[in-house]
């Protein structure tokens, strides 16, 4: 069969409904931003493409080569490849810190205003990426369930790999993109308005506290997510690449733009 057996009519309808809700929320917010400012919010597709490409490359390098932190390390296998086991490197907190540091150091070279104004376009591009990768994974029958296991590393019949791109794609970029978008707006307002409102600072602070808690408990949260749905499924990719970063940051962008337009 060309498509994976997990793709059913009901799952397609539910997925389309979630996409519709996502697009409706982003569209309404985008038009609010336009109506609340006299100038039309331009879109910068080339800037968005370059930034997203650089973003994914950096996060891929960080996830692959940064060391693991924490007492517990998640070891898991795929049902489709039971002879291969994977070790997840819990280093999202370090990756997030390095990402913010790089954004701050190179803030003069980053197109802050253009990216902030292209928030709607960023959301659409990420949705396109999620749909593309989901289609590739489904049509190549790479959909597979994961389960955590105790592993005997001395077993010669088991082949080890340190990195799983499917798990990275569905979990890692989105959860770091969430605070990065907040930090992007923070740098933009700080550069062009020279003043941060109290309610905006509180919104950023509360979200950051929650995100850091997620990073500190990364291993256990990923284990729970593996029990809910495979990381190569559409709902996992869509949730982490689109829903988490772009729905969670609506509050910050609403407060930042409505109070002091960028």
* pLDDT recorded at residue 98: 93
pLDDT digits (tens, 9 = 90+) for 91-125: 888 999 999 999 999 988 888 888 888 888 888 88
Domain extents in the chain: 44-259
More confident residue, 149 or 252: 252
Q: Which of 27-31, 32-36, 80-84, 197-201 has the lowest mean pLDDT?
A: 32-36
- For residue 218, give both structure tokens: 């990364």
* Reported pTM: 0.81
- For residue 226, give both structure tokens: 């593996």
215/208 Cα distance (integer angstroms): 10
92/7 Cα distance (integer angstroms): 31
What mean pLDDT is reported for the chain? Answer: 78
* pLDDT recorded at residue 38: 41
Q: Which residues, 6 or more positions from 177, have their beta carbon under 8 angstroms from its beta carbon?
A: 55, 241, 244, 245
Q: Which of 16-25, 78-87, 152-161 has the lowest mean pLDDT?
A: 152-161
Band (pLDDT 50/70/90 cuts) for residue 158 is low
- Tell me 68's DSSP state: P
Percent of the chain with pLDDT over 90: 11
Is pLDDT at 33 greater than 70 in this prediction? Answer: no
* pLDDT recorded at residue 97: 92
Q: Mean pLDDT across the stretch 155-160?
A: 60
Q: Which residues, 6 or more positions from 70, have their beta carbon under 8 angstroms from its beta carbon?
A: 90, 218, 219
Cα–Cα separations (whole angstroms), residue 132 to 1, 31, 93, 247, 257? 19, 26, 28, 20, 31
Q: With CA atoms as reference, report the closest residue to 238 among 135, 159, 158, 155.
A: 135
- Tell me 140's DSSP state: T
- For residue 246, give both structure tokens: 């772009």
Q: Which of 152-156, 173-177, 230-234, 246-250 has the lowest mean pLDDT?
A: 152-156
* pLDDT recorded at residue 1: 37
């Amino acid at each position: 069969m060309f498509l994976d057996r997990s793709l059913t009519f009901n799952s397609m309808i539910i997925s389309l409904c979630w996409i519709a809700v996502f697009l409706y929320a982003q569209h309404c917010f985008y038009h609010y931003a336009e109506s609340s400012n006299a100038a039309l919010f331009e879109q910068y597709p080339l800037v968005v493409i370059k930034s997203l490409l650089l973003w994914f490359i950096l996060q891929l390098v960080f996830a692959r080569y940064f060391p693991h932190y924490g007492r517990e390390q998640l070891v898991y296998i795929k049902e489709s490849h039971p002879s291969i086991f994977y070790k997840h490197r819990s280093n999202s907190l370090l990756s997030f810190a390095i990402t913010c540091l790089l954004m701050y150091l190179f803030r003069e070279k980053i197109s802050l205003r253009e990216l902030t104004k292209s928030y709607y376009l960023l959301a659409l591009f990420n949705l396109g990426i999620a749909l593309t990768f989901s289609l590739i994974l489904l049509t190549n029958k790479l959909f597979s369930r994961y389960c955590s296991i105790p592993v005997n590393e001395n077993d010669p019949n088991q082949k080890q790999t340190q990195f799983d791109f499917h798990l990275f794609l569905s979990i890692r970029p989105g959860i770091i993109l969430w605070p990065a978008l907040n930090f992007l707006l923070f740098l933009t307002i700080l550069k062009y308005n020279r003043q941060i409102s109290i309610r905006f600072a509180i919104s950023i602070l509360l979200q950051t506290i929650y995100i850091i808690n997620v990073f500190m408990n990364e291993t256990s949260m990923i284990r729970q997510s593996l029990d809910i749905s495979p990381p190569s499924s559409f709902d996992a990719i869509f949730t982490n690449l689109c829903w988490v970063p772009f729905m969670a940051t609506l509050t910050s962008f609403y407060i930042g733009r409505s109070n002091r337009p960028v």
